[in-house]
């Protein structure tokens, strides 16, 4: 087994095309968030690079590029591809389901906070944009697949 500090392990990491393809898909999605935000709001917001949510889902792009890359490299009938598919579905479900629901709850709680602020209490507002719409997840997933097919 190779040590983490071993020069060969570092070289293998540097040449892992599936990993770098997945990271490229994530980076493209993050860049597209700025573009899509500017298109809709008519203003540039570079904070979109580090804020959750937005179009397209970079989580979906990352995991589908990883999954597609593994399918291309290891075979679509391999156990690692099956594992990656399940992993991707869990991540995308969380992005569109659980985190989106938490964002809706934050919106309701913020309305309560605004009412409390009118009464001179000052609790902190919660972040409402936590998850993705199903469409944002779908576009992110398609982006991940396209980047993986293009790169691998």
The 10s digit of each residue's pLDDT in 78-97 is 999 999 999 999 999 888 77
Domain for residue 5, yes or no?
A: no
Whether residue 10 lies inside any domain: the answer is: no
Within-domain flag for 110: yes
DSSP states along 83-106: HHHHHHHHHHHIIIIIHHHHHHHH
Residue 50: its pLDDT value, please?
A: 75
8-state DSSP, 49: G
Note the pLDDT of residue 112. 78
Residue 8 forms part of a structural domain: no
Residue ranges for the chain with pLDDT beneath 70? 1-6, 99-100, 119-131
Check residue 14 and give its pLDDT. Answer: 87
**The domain containing residue 41 runs over which residues?**
17-151
Burial (CB < 10 A; 0-12, 13-18, 19+), residue 20, is: middle
pLDDT of residue 17: 95
For position 16, what pLDDT does the model report?
A: 93
Nearest in space to 21 (alpha carbons), one of 56, 67, 54, 57: 67
Q: How much is the pLDDT for 51?
A: 74
- Regarding pTM above 0.75, the answer is no
3-state secondary structure at position 11:
helix
47 inside domain: yes
């Amino acid at each position: 087994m190779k040590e983490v500090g071993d020069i060969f392990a570092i070289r293998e990491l540097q040449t892992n095309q599936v990993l770098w393809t997945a990271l490229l898909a994530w980076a493209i999605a993050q860049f597209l968030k700025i573009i899509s935000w500017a298109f809709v709001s008519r203003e540039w917001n570079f904070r979109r690079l580090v804020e959750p949510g937005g179009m397209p889902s970079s989580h979906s792009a990352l995991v589908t590029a990883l999954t597609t890359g593994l399918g291309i490299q290891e075979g679509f009938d391999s156990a690692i591809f099956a594992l990656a598919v399940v992993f991707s579905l869990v991540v995308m479900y969380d992005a569109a389901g659980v985190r989106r629901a938490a964002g809706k709850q934050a919106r309701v709680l913020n309305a309560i906070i605004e009412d409390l602020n009118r009464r001179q209490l000052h609790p902190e507002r919660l972040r409402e944009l936590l998850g993705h719409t199903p469409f944002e997840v779908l576009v992110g997933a398609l982006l991940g697949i396209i980047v993986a097919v293009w790169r691998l």
